[in-house]
Structure 1
Amino acid sequence: MNPTVARLTLRGLLGRRRGILLLVVPALLLFVSAIASGSSGDKHDLTVKILGQLGLGTLLPILGLVVGTGAIATEIDDGSIVYLLAKPLPRWKIITTKLVVAVGTTWVFAAVPTLLSGLLLYGTKDNLALGYTAATLVAGAVYSALFLLLGVATRHAVVAGLGYALIWESLIGNFVKGARTLSVQQWGLSVGQAVAGDGAITAGVSLGVAVPLLLVLTVAATVLASVKLAGLTLAADE
């Protein structure tokens, strides 16, 4: 990990416009949870809907998109990436540093609010809050790697990522049974199911399938992003 790259990446992510956008997701989740906590309905069902469908299923992919693409896509678009590539740094180290910053940022703005929302809605019963927090941690890491790759691979990363987040993860991954095996959200839920109490969280993928897929996609996205970034260097030299 390179401290200079990490500092520049963090500064870019927490800039005025993007920083405000990052605050919207946790603020919305906490706001909805605060209102719902006063409801007299089934608390477990309500928590599952808010943390699972809204938080993990919709808000987390969008947050991951903002962070993952923002970690590098802006530098590529405005050409400032050339100055970074001119440094004698291995391209994989640039990517892994940016990934670490992206994952850490996603965890702060997604996992922490998820835990607070879970405790607000359901307390410590059934480890439900911890389960969804664990799901958010692992899914957030995968989203960061995936959207970082998109940021390097295409200039239309935000559009492509938004389509993936809203169509595949929020709709198809939730409601089409056969597609759940390839849903990051379902992989996260599988981990959350293992952490929470029996029957507290329902996942469409077994833990034995989810964990290898989580690892493979994260590693593959990181490697491909490094290769793509090396290609940008060659293109600049030509």
Structure 2
Amino acid sequence: MNGVIAGISYRALLGRRRIWLLIILPLVLIGLAVLLQVIGSGGEKVTVTFMQTFAIGTMLPLLGMIAGTGVIAPEIDDGTIIHLLAKPISRPVIAQTKFLVAASILALFAAVPTFVAAYLLVGLQSGIAYGFALGALVGGVAYAAVFMLLGILTRHAVTVGIVYALVWEGVVGNFVPGARRFSIQQWAQSVGDQVSSSPFFSAEIAPGFAVPALIVITVGAVVWAGQRLRSFSLTGDE
């Protein structure tokens, strides 16, 4: 990890309009949790359904897209990536640093609010809050890698990311049984399910598949991103 690149990436990501999206989505999650608690619609079953649908199913992939593409795609679009690539820094190190920045942002803006929302609804009951927070953490790390790679591969990363997050993860992954084995959010829920003892929190993907899949997709995306950066020339051509 390179400290200078990390600092630049944090300032760029948190200083742009993306910061408002990073803040608004978690606030909506917590606000809905408070509303459910106020109207007396809590309980384990409602909480698990709510967290699966909104926290892991909607908020997490969208935050992953915002943070993952945001750490590098704008630099590629405006050409400032050339100045970074001109420095005597290994391009895989650049990719690794960008990934770590995006992953840390997701830990803060996804995993923490997920825990808070679940805690507001059921406290520490049945380990639901811990389970979903862990799921959001590991899922967020994987999303950070995948969306960072998309930001390098295509100038339409946001569009592709939205299609992936809402269509594949939100629709296909939830309603097509076979596709669930290739869904990051399903893998994240599988990991979280190992922490929770709630009978309502039951993942369909075995952890024996989900954990290796998360590792492979995360490491693979970061390595590919580093190799892809090697193809960028200092003139801006690929």
Task: Give the TM bin, normalised by the shorter chain.
Answer: over 0.9
Within-5 A mapping of 1:163-182: 163-182=163-182
1:118 aligns with 2:97: no
Residue 25 in structure 1 maps to residue 12 in structure 2: no
Q: Does residue 1:217 correspond to 2:217, yes or no? A: yes
Aligned counterparts of 1:47 and 1:171: Cα–Cα separation in 2: 21
Deviation at 1:41, TM superposition (A): 3.8
Identity of aligned residues (%): 45
Provide the C-alpha distance between the structure 1 equivalents of 2:202 and 2:156, rounded to a whole number of angstroms: 34
DSSP 3-state at the match of 1:6: helix
Q: Which amino acid aligns with 1:54?
A: F
After superposition, residues 58-73 of structure 1 pair within 5 angstroms as: 58-73=58-73
Query: What is residue 150 of structure 1 aligned with on the other side?
Result: 150
- After TM superposition, list the pairs within 5 Å mapping 1:68-83 onto structure 2: 68-83=68-83
Task: Identify the residue that residue 108 of structure 2 maps to in structure 1.
Answer: 108
CA distance in 2, matches of 1:166, 1:80: 30
1:233 matched to 2:233? yes
User: Given the alignment of the two structures, is residue 39 of structure 1 paired with residue 39 of structure 2, yes or no?
Assistant: yes
Residues 42 and 31 (structure 1), Cα distance of their counterparts in 2 relative to 1, 3 Å cut: closer
SS in 1 for 2:89: coil
Match of 2:85 in 1: 85
Q: 1:198 to 1:5 in 2, by over 3 A?
A: same
Q: Residues 206 and 236 (structure 1 numbering): CA distance in 2 closer, same or farther, change over 3 Å?
A: same
Q: Distance in 2 between matches of 1:199 and 1:176?
A: 23
1:52 Cα deviation (Å)? Answer: 0.9
How far, CA to CA, are the matches of 1:179 and 1:208 in structure 2? 17
CA shift digits 1:38-67 (9 cap, x unpaired): 233461122112211111001110010000
Q: Are 2:95 and 2:226, in contact at CA under 8 Å, matched by a contact in 1?
A: yes
TM-score by length of 1: 0.96
CA 1:237 to 1:140, structure 2 compared with 1: closer, same or farther past 3 Å? Answer: closer
Q: Distance in 1 between matches of 2:96 and 2:129?
A: 30
Q: Which amino acid counterpart does residue 94 of structure 2 have in structure 1?
A: I
Q: Distance in 2 between matches of 1:64 and 1:228?
A: 20
- CA deviations over 1:131-166 (Å, ceiling 9, x no partner): 000100000000000000000000000000100000
Q: State the shift of 1:36 in Å.
A: 0.6
Query: Which amino acid in the other structure matches residue 158 of structure 2?
Result: V
Distance 1:21 1:113 in 2: 14
Per mean C-alpha deviation after superposition, the further-off stretch among 46-55 and 90-99 is: 46-55
Note if contact 2:148-2:225 (Cα within 8 Å) is conserved in structure 1.
Answer: yes
Other-structure match for 2:49: 49
37-46 or 17-26: bigger deviation: 37-46
Question: Which ranges of structure 2 fall in alignment gaps of 5 or more residues?
Answer: none
Q: Distance in 1 between matches of 2:233 and 2:187?
A: 35
**Pairwise CA RMSD:** 1.4
> 1:18 offset after TM fit, Å?
1.4
Please report how far the alpha carbon of residue 21 of structure 1 lies from its aligned counterpart in structure 2 after TM superposition.
1.6
Which residue type is aligned with residue 76 of structure 1? I
